[in-house]
Amino acid sequence: MIYAPETVSDAKAFWQKADKYLMSTGVPYSPVIITRTEGTKLFDSEGRQILDFTSGQMSSLLGHAHPEIVAVVRKYVAGLDHLLSNMITYPVVNLAERLARLLPAPLEKSFFLNTGSETTEAAIKMAKCYTGKFEIVAFSASYHGLTQGSGSATYSAGRRGGGPATPGQLVFPAPYAYRSPFKKADGSYDWETEMDYGWSMIDRQSVGSLAAFIMEPILSTGGILDPPEGYLQRLHSECKMRGMLMIMDEAQTGVGRTGQMFAFQRDNIVPDILCLSKTLGAGLPLGSVSTTAEIERGCKEVKFLWLTTHLNDPLTAAVGDKVLEIVERDNICQRAAERGQQLREGLLKMQEKYWCIGDIRGRGLLQGIEIISDPKTKAPGSDLGQAVSDRAMANGLSCNVVNLPGMGGVFRLAPPVTVSSEEISFGLKILDEAFGHVLAQRDQMVAVA
């Protein structure tokens, strides 16, 4: 059976129903109504084709409706979809085994959940159970979810209006080289001094109960902040000195997107707990928490409990196993590195043309463009960024721009790793036109004024 998309004959009626029946969660709706997806493309209610440079919600790693993923879903939804959470199936064990083989030792024990927030929530509880401590450190530009524990460790957004955070939350300066006040005499980023400062603040704030540092290897929602080489190794050492666990949240960076299977591998470190989500399910709700046999033993001793309705579901586990099989078999890491280099080179050329592009950063097929409104002061250019994003969408490119306090509008470009060279070129062409159009309009307005 081929999917037949719904048609939207009356867009006005659609939006009226949406406004009446959907509760706002603080996320503004996109103005387009998507009715079908395929590969790297979205199709809207007006029949337009849109190139997806965000992989859905940064999740559809292999593109939309990948035929092998579709086949797995059909097989398992028809025969082995959902069970009691204590009923372990072949797909779950197969996924755990494959993941253990791909992970560096001593990471070998995993369980499976649905969302990134669930995985980080579980990881934080594991760290507290194992260490017997309760303080959790996170970056000032972090995003680990919005449930109670994960939201308390999230500093980039969502902290207002929900009452007190979980006790023991400590914040560490994010490695934001473009805007850091810590500079060497030559103007380069002095991350070593910044890190010394950060740890001095943690040590002063701590009540002697440091359990873990939770981090993304590249901070995505915080603005595609890619720490310099050596940074995570030093951070890892500092955690060990204090008896803290390192929790690595690779929701967006894991499973090949950055050019390596896991982004932390660039820095030759191994976290104590690894969280995967988004990319592991390639668009389906699947997350994993992986750790060592020693940490599992310690958690067992204190009666660690984590139980959710969809713990270790067979359907999504089968999808995750197939995703990892495809990533290995098709050499997706190399593909992401090659297409990512093409994307980056195109963005750097664009930066030479447009003064409002302040910085280009990222790894593989996770690239960021920071927009500024003044080349001298580097003042944030959120409005400019949004205008460029809107123009690109109108011309057939979906690209996400993050507007958060303390930074400019930062585009997060994360096409599916199945994107072709021609599609990268086409996306760059649309972006180029969007920047040129928006800046030309701005110059006209300034001239008239």
Strands (E), 195-234: 210-215
Report if residue 290 sits inside a domain. Answer: yes
The CATH number that applies at residue 394 is 3.90.1150.10
% of residues, the chain, pLDDT over 90: 89
Range of the domain at 118: 80-329
Tell me, yes or no, whether 109 and 33 share the same domain.
Answer: no
Report if residue 164 sits inside a domain. Answer: yes
Tell me, yes or no, whether 149 and 190 share the same domain.
Answer: yes
Euclidean distance between CA atoms 174 and 227, whole angstroms:
9
Tell me, yes or no, whether 110 and 166 share the same domain.
Answer: yes
Phi and psi at 27, nearest 5°, equal -105, 115
Number of structural domains in the chain: 2
Report if residue 221 sits inside a domain. Answer: yes
Structure tokens at 209: 């109960």
Of 382, 392, 385, residue with least CA distance to 431: 392
Tell me, yes or no, whether 337 and 320 share the same domain.
Answer: no
Number of H helices, E strands in the chain: 13, 15
Report if residue 71 sits inside a domain. Answer: no
Dihedral over alpha carbons 334, 110, 281, 143 (to 10 degrees): -90
Phi-psi sector, 383: left (phi>0), alpha (psi -120 to 50), beta: alpha
Euclidean distance between CA atoms 260 and 291, whole angstroms:
19
Tell me, yes or no, whether 162 and 211 share the same domain.
Answer: yes
Dihedral over alpha carbons 175, 282, 411, 187 (to 10 degrees): 20
| End-of-domain residue from the set 329, 351, 378 | 329
Tell me, yes or no, whether 292 and 434 share the same domain.
Answer: no
Report if residue 73 sits inside a domain. Answer: no
Quote the distance between the C-alpha of residue 433 and its chain's center: 27
% of residues, the chain, pLDDT over 70: 97
Work out the average pLDDT over 96-124: 97
Confidence category of residue 405, pLDDT binned at 50, 70, 90: low
- Which tens digit of pLDDT belongs to each residue from 192-248? 999 999 999 999 999 999 999 999 999 999 999 999 999 999 999 999 999 999 999
Structure tokens at 5: 């998309």
Structure tokens at 103: 């992970």
Report if residue 406 sits inside a domain. Answer: yes
Tell me, yes or no, whether 438 and 354 share the same domain.
Answer: yes
Tell me, yes or no, whether 223 and 298 share the same domain.
Answer: yes
pLDDT score, position 1: 44
Q: Is the separation of the CB atoms in 166 and 133 below 8 Å?
A: no
Tell me, yes or no, whether 61 and 148 share the same domain.
Answer: no
Who contacts 209 (Cβ-Cβ below 8 Å, separation ≥6)? 133, 134, 135, 168
pLDDT score, position 7: 58
| End-of-domain residue from the set 329, 361, 384 | 329
| End-of-domain residue from the set 265, 294, 329 | 329
- Which tens digit of pLDDT belongs to each residue from 11-34? 889 999 999 999 998 888 888 999
The amino acid at residue 143 is Y
The CATH number that applies at residue 112 is 3.40.640.10
Phi and psi at 204, nearest 5°, equal -75, -35
Tell me, yes or no, whether 191 and 220 share the same domain.
Answer: yes
Tell me, yes or no, whether 375 and 434 share the same domain.
Answer: yes
Tell me, yes or no, whether 216 and 266 share the same domain.
Answer: yes
- The SS3 call for residue 11 is helix
pTM of structure: 0.95
Query: Which runs of consecutive H residues, i.e. helices, occur in 78-183?
Result: 90-102, 116-131, 148-152
